[in-house]
Amino acid sequence: MYEFAVTPAVTQLRRPGVIITEVSPGSLAEELELAPSDRIVRVNGRSVRDYLDFRFQTAGETELTFQVKKPDGQTIDIEFDRDESEDFGLMFEQIVPRQCANECLFCFCKGNPEDARPSLFVRDEDIRLSFLYGNYTTLSSITEDEMNRIVEQRLSPQYVSVHATDLKTRAYLLGVDEKRADIAEKLQRLLDNDIELHAQVVLCPEINDGAILEKTLRDLAAHYPKVVSTAVVPVALTRYNTDDRLTRVTPEFCQRTIKEVEKLQKEFRKALGTTFAFLGDEIYIKGGVEIPSRRHYGNYPQIEDGVGMVRSFLKKFEALVRTGSGSDRDLLPLRTYDVRTHAQAILPVKSKSPVATAPGSDSGTILTGEMFAPILREQISQFNVSHGTRFHVLAVPNTYFGGDVSVAGLLTGQDYRNIADQIEGDFVIIPKHTIKSDEPILLDGMSFDELKSIFDVPVYDLDTDGLMEFLRLAS
């Protein structure tokens, strides 16, 4: 689930240019007297709509003219030269996402409580965010300008929610007419222009499973390697999803799907040399089936969609358990924060690792979602045995969204509050991504400070790599 600022969208969408938010001290931009709140409107006479345009218009250019609107309304032109690789030292406003025009049966917005924060109701469908962050779009309302932009600016790869190549099924799932749902020509045009695609299927029992899923995967695999991979993730319904056209995912459904897709995966590996169609981790966990091997996932092309995360975690954790607390610490494959699926993607700014505030205790509680808890608990038990530590894993039920929601990433402040009296040891760890990346609040609006005040012990917010580093230092 991605969150975006809602309010600025109304004003910023109408203004040309991209707003500077930060100028690095001593940088070229400072020398040019650029400042936060300035808006760069044109580069070498070409208009700039956002950060991506700025990057595209300036790439490789050494002689530049910026047209800049100052906050007082004044417009100035700045002419300058730079070395080809010289960085400007500029940070820009976030891209305000374009909204989708679909009415998907399973849309996450329909699964929110009514009083959820407005940002949780933002339905983004934006090819720029697809390129930058791996957000999926349906391409069903993409404009000619956007299609041209993908090709011209090489916004590749794109992440496309296909759901089904059977048109009737796709239209039904998206809640739009068949004309709008039909993206065959658009996909072909992107492929003809060498734009790489990663596809996604949100699997809804009795709608796009079975023969429809097989057709979808075969149709997509026919375009490999331009269609690089396909993720098949199960629909997750909260207690607010009451649409009776939707059926909940059961363990039996997961087992059946694994069997069906395994046959295709074997075929694809033989014919294409890649698994190509990857099932979401939840399908294996819910089906009680072992997570596939490291080789199954290749270079983890869909890890941004949560596919292969468990195997990736287990591999790293194995190394952690194997590693003693002495001289071989350096063997740990840590500091691989934010692996993204393509080189051009921007890494989110990370706070420092917890090293400086390591707990000074070998006893504490690690909180996670109900789905991942058994896996983490097993690993932590092994770690405790090999390192003599006393870490505990506690599964936190999701009471805010309810229903099938059991992933760690959707835990809220109230969920943590509900288990506050079950904490053991001297600290508590929560999954970092339950806190908004640009603001210290949780999904239900509780501030991180308020959350901390609920517990009697320090609270650390850590991602997977941060957790491993923390354990290593605490042991």
- Residues near ligand SF4, by CB under 6 A: 100, 102-104, 107, 109, 123, 125, 138
Q: Which amino acid would we find at residue 365?
A: T
Smallest distance, ligand SF4 to C-beta of residue 131, A: 17
Residue 325 DSSP class: S
Q: Which is nearer to ligand SF4, 104 or 411 (CB)?
A: 104
Smallest distance, ligand SF4 to C-beta of residue 199, A: 14
Q: Which is nearer to ligand SF4, 166 or 426 (CB)?
A: 166
Smallest distance, ligand SF4 to C-beta of residue 112, A: 11
Q: Which is nearer to ligand SF4, 218 or 248 (CB)?
A: 248
Smallest distance, ligand SF4 to C-beta of residue 307, A: 18
Distance CA 117, CA 4 (A): 11
Q: Does residue 13 contact residue 5 with C-beta atoms inside 8 Å?
A: no
Distance CA 472, CA 475 (A): 5
Distance CA 365, CA 220 (A): 44
CA angle 355, 360, 366 (to 5 degrees): 75
Cα dihedral 330, 335, 339, 343 sign:
negative
Distance CA 437, CA 314 (A): 25
Distance CA 119, CA 310 (A): 28
Smallest distance, ligand SF4 to C-beta of residue 104, A: 3
Q: What CA–CA distances, in Å, run from 259 to 204, 210, 212, 265? A: 17, 11, 15, 10
Q: Which is nearer to ligand SF4, 205 or 354 (CB)?
A: 205
Smallest distance, ligand SF4 to C-beta of residue 218, A: 24
Q: Which is nearer to ligand SF4, 54 or 108 (CB)?
A: 108
Q: Which is nearer to ligand SF4, 122 or 285 (CB)?
A: 122
| Token representation of residue 288 | 């009680």
Distance CA 334, CA 319 (A): 10
Smallest distance, ligand SF4 to C-beta of residue 402, A: 19
CA angle 418, 419, 420 (to 5 degrees): 100
